[in-house]
């Protein structure tokens, strides 16, 4: 506690010193060009007029003018608290730590206050032209990172449960209703068509897809004659936040929409799937889905390519690289750059707050859509073939967290009712469904 109070005291002292010096009448502009001959001559002429103490005070003032204590705003402090909260959730509760730790750290980096100048030759910050993060962020703005993540997901995904029970794919499709409901809601609240489409995709609970679509439709450019705002940062943070909060958001909705009797339904074990079926599925899936939605080709092409590497049995090294080293590197770069793009002056806006609200609504509608459609399917199924409606919640594409939530909820009702393998079918179908939805939206709006 003493150390903590000491640190707080130092910060308070520096802040007070900064404010005191700022109010002492020091408004001198910092020279922008070291080779400015007029400035050099003026400084030389004034050398004799200043005492050593004056020069020292001037140096201290100049130093403080560059510190974060001098340039901090309330928004910076709020965003730093948000970043710390993300890191806390990841470490304390194990909520998507591989995502929230890089994003939370990126938020801290992006909101360290710095001196800002209108002079292009004196830019201090993290995203100025030529900086490392500026180059790394290129992978976000151009939609490079999401397909690489889909490659890794494909290399680690087993489609056996979906192949053995193809009807469960309908649950993944039904969960995408949240995307289109929120799309309409965003239009009602004043967002234009491309922006509303990018916000709606949050309901798929698929961060890479949300980033990919927003990089195409809400990147600050002109899309189909409409001027869009750059919403990549808020949309990405919202999507990954709700992915991390799957264990918090989904269970109440699942329990509200199902009865005790429905939660006790036991499903038949998935049948054994042959190697030929496993190899054929990604090939057929690639051709079928991308012919339907060519705009989703960068995502689904890489997803099914990664799965072909896994199931072929002759490219084990490539599959291992895609699902381990490659995806880990991309997640690090994606998380830190997306987090660092959330500077307070561009993130803490009414539009960003609306995006978070709409994202939550989208995610809840997506969860409800999957559960309710499972109940609807049961109306036409015999007693032995009925579906446990809980697995409908896995139709959102938060792989594999939503499937794990289904498993835990099923075990609460019946400790011997294991739903994980059944839930993985709509879960991976949701990944495909959200990517197809993104491709459809791109084809309509670009």
Q: What is the pTM of this model?
A: 0.83
Query: Using CA atoms, how far apart are residues 217 and 214, in angstroms rounded to an integer?
Result: 5
Residues paired with residue 226 on neighbouring β-strands, in sequence order: 223
Tell me the two tokens of residue 70.
């001098």
- For 26-45, what is each residue's pLDDT tens digit? 344 434 444 444 444 455 55
In the prediction, which pLDDT does 2 show?
56
Instruction: Give me the residues of the chain with pLDDT under 50, please.
Output: 4, 7, 11, 13-14, 17-41, 120-122
Query: Using CA atoms, how far apart are residues 329 and 239, in angstroms rounded to an integer?
Result: 20
Query: Using CA atoms, how far apart are residues 322 and 210, in angstroms rounded to an integer?
Result: 21
**Domain residue limits, the chain:** 137-445
In the prediction, which pLDDT does 218 show?
92
Collect all residues with Cβ–Cβ distance below 8 Å to 391 and sequence separation of at least 6.
168, 171, 267, 370, 374, 406, 419, 422, 423, 425, 426
DSSP state of 325: I
Surface-to-core class of residue 92, CB atoms within 10 Å of its CB (0-12 exposed, 13-18 middle, 19+ buried):
exposed
In the prediction, which pLDDT does 355 show?
92
Check: CB of residue 428 under 8 Å from CB of residue 171. no
Tell me the two tokens of residue 72.
């901090």
Query: Using CA atoms, how far apart are residues 23 and 11, in angstroms rounded to an integer?
Result: 18
In the prediction, which pLDDT does 27 show?
41
In the prediction, which pLDDT does 264 show?
93
């Amino acid at each position: 506690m003493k150390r903590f109070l000491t640190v707080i005291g130092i910060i308070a002292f520096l802040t007070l010193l900064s404010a005191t010096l700022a109010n002492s009448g020091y408004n001198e502009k910092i020279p922008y060009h070291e080779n400015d001959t007029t400035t050099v001559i003026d400084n030389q002429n004034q050398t004799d007029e200043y005492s050593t103490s004056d020069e020292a005070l001037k140096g201290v003032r100049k130093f403080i003018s560059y510190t974060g204590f001098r340039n901090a705003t309330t928004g910076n402090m709020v965003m730093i608290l948000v970043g710390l909260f993300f890191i806390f959730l990841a470490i304390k509760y194990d909520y998507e730590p591989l995502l929230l730790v890089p994003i939370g750290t990126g938020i801290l980096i992006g909101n360290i206050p710095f001196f800002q100048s209108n002079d292009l030759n004196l830019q201090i910050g993290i995203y100025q032209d030529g900086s490392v993060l500026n180059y790394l962020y290129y992978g976000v703005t151009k939609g490079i990172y999401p397909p690489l993540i889909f490659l890794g997901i494909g290399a680690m995904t087993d489609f056996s449960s979906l192949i053995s029970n193809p009807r469960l794919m309908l649950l993944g499709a039904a969960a995408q209703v949240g995307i289109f409901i929120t799309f309409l809601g965003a239009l009602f609240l004043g967002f234009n068509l491309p922006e509303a489409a990018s916000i709606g995709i949050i309901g798929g609970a698929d961060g890479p897809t949300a980033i990919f679509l927003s990089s195409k439709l809400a990147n600050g450019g002109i899309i189909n004659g409409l001027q869009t705002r750059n919403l990549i940062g808020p949309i990405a943070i919202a999507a990954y936040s709700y992915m991390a909060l799957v264990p918090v958001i989904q269970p109440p909705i699942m329990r509200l929409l199902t009865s005790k009797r429905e939660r006790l339904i036991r499903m038949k074990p998935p049948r054994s799937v042959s190697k030929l079926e496993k190899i054929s599925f990604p090939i057929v899936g690639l051709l079928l889905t991308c012919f339907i939605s060519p705009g989703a080709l960068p995502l689904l092409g890489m997803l099914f390519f990664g799965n072909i590497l896994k199931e072929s049995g002759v490219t084990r090294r490539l599959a291992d690289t895609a699902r381990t080293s490659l995806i880990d590197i991309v997640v690090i770069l994606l998380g830190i750059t997306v987090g660092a793009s959330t500077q307070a002056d561009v993130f803490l806006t009414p539009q960003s707050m609306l995006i978070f609200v709409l994202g939550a609504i989208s995610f809840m509608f997506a969860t409800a859509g999957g559960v309710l459609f499972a109940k609807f399917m049961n109306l036409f199924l015999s007693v032995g073939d009925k579906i446990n409606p809980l697995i409908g919640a896995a139709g959102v594409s938060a792989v594999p967290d939503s499937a794990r939530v289904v498993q835990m909820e099923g075990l609460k009702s019946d400790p011997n009712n294991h739903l994980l393998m059944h839930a993985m079918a709509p879960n991976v179908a949701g990944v495909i469904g959200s990517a197809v939805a993104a491709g459809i939206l791109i084809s309509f709006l670009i």
